[in-house]
Amino acid sequence: MKLILPSGSLDKLPIYAALGVAEIWRYDGQVLRFYGLNEESKSYQEISQSLAFPWLDISLIPQWLEQRLIIGETAVLKQVRQWAIEQKKYNI
């Protein structure tokens, strides 16, 4: 399963669909949205949770992206790593 955060003005979704990319993440600077590929129509529909990480709280990622502007990318990566370790302890 591939995850892509597309950017730019070109609509790349048809290209990703043709390649069979199962999940797309889009972040507009404020809101993160997940899109899942509908195999029959070869188009994407918004989904409420990640297919690859169904246990992931979607609200965390924009928070981490905002934090990197305040405390820096390295500090946020350390926080995310610690968060992931904690999740693993609880088998989430």
Q: What are the boundaries of each domain within the chain?
A: 1-52, 59-92
Q: What pLDDT is attached to residue 18?
A: 93
pTM for this predicted structure: 0.70
Nearest in space to 32 (alpha carbons), one of 69, 67, 6:
6
Q: List Cα–Cα distances, 78 to 16, 56, 71, 87, in angstroms.
A: 31, 17, 11, 14
Whether 5 shows a pLDDT value over 80: the answer reads: no
pLDDT tens string 22-69: 999 998 888 889 999 999 999 999 999 999 888 888 889 989 999 999
Residues 12/6, Cβ–Cβ less than 8 Å: yes
